[in-house]
Amino acid sequence: MTSRFEGKVAFVTGAASGIGRAVVERLKREGAHVGAFDRDHGRLRALALELGVLALEGDLTDPPSINAAIQALARDGGGLDVVVNAAGVAFSDNVETIQDSAWAMTLAVNLTGAMLVCRAAIPYLKARGSGAIVNVASVAAFNASPGNGSYSASKAGLIALTRNIAYSLGLDGIRCNAICPGWVRTAMSEVEMALIAKQNGTTSEAEFEKLAAGTPLGRVAKPSELAACIAFLASDDASFVTGATLVADGGGRLPAGSRAF
């Protein structure tokens, strides 16, 4: 394993599970001093004990807790170099069924929360004279599918925010990119597959197999694969990449219809 992040300080949201946890593991292995931010107290503490990272409990809908967490990490690590916004929530809805509360929560976490993290982190990145922000969006920002009304809107907004940050802060040496995963085997996707399986009278595994069959690579991603992509964007290997959107979906967007075997 390389040490691309030796001496670097990284702040990761959604750190207790899924893609966020995989990012924490990856950055830590590559030498980073990692601050793991999440609202799940139990999982966060277990993660900190297991990996030796700084546990930063907080909520993305609570700006003071975000500010306090970033301040604590910068104080503990001597600054800040990398920010990864991996936290997210999803509700199944379309425009005619969206509940105001679900819409508000989705945007509050997926879009506003990421903005609040970036806003709090930018002064520390500027103080370094460089830095990298990676926002975890989704192919749902581009792909129309049933039940993704509020989620798709939030992720499309996150891509637009990413591009604005990249343009605004380029002369400060700060890069900002987005990654758009397709289907990844996480706790969130497990819940979604369980709901679909219930509707179809099948099993979660059967539904995951259907997803894999419609993907050119023939499988669903592991969180570690997305973490590898995120680590690239956050590292100096991507030193001339900013304002970009990396789609990591196993080729799922390539076919116009389902894959024929």
Residues with active-site annotation: 151
User: Which two three-digit tokens encode residue 140?
Assistant: 């749902």
Rounded Cα gap, residues 5 and 8, in angstroms: 5
DSSP string, 160-183: HHHHHHHHHHGGGTEEEEEEEE--
Rounded Cα gap, residues 141 and 217, in angstroms: 21
Rounded Cα gap, residues 158 and 106, in angstroms: 12
Amino acid found at 252? G
Minimal CA–CA distance to 67: which of 110, 113, 135? 113
User: Which two three-digit tokens encode residue 183?
Assistant: 């289907």
Cβ-contact 177, 238 below 8 angstroms? yes
Burial of residue 57 (CB within 10 Å: 0-12, 13-18, 19+) is middle
